[in-house]
A and B are shown apart, each in its own frame.
Chain A
């Protein structure tokens, strides 16, 4: 149980285009989903927290107009990188918390490798 999927697993796009990444909890409902960014051999950096049906909460320094988050249901959150630039190239990982649990456990997706040319 507690499986989270992400799609796509990798994407290459041209500078100036937008890219959408989907995060789904496959076998549970998630009260909250999180989006992280990770640079090589470094830890995870929280970008934003999203709750179903409400606006996402962004961490300091993360541009909300550039990284659009939509949490349409208890099993789906999407991250759209708008007008992508080469510096947006990174590994993006989502996670989800189980509705019934209260121990802050997060279950992570497999990540999406974004390369902006």
Chain B
């Protein structure tokens, strides 16, 4: 069984601060997705990384896939209240996704 350990589970910060969320596994994944989910809605795909060492940027969000394709990180610069939500990492293998437990981020104004 593949597992993805996501940390931290909860994060409450002030507007303007930076933060990093981590996803780690002992398994190799063919791809790694990051999703953001707001209460009462479905997850929205933010990014997909597929190459070891790959770095993708989406405005203030930077995503990195580990060289061995076992881990990933999400870094948010100058967080804003609109970034508040549940961030989920998901490792792709065969046709399924293995989800981390999520990071509940609250950005206080």
Contacts and interface: CB of A to CB of B under 8 A. Distances in A.
Interface of A: 2, 4, 6, 32, 34, 41-44, 46, 49, 91, 93, 95, 97, 103-111, 113
- The dominant DSSP class at the B interface is strand
Contacts, number: 64
Interface residues of B, number: 26
A109 B45 CA distance: 11
A103 B43 contact: no
Contacts of A2: 45
Interface of B: 30-31, 33, 35, 40-45, 48, 50, 86, 88, 90, 92-97, 99-102, 104
Of the listed residues A34, A43, A91, the one surrounded by the most CB atoms of chain B closer than 10 A to its CB is A43
B50 A111 contact: no
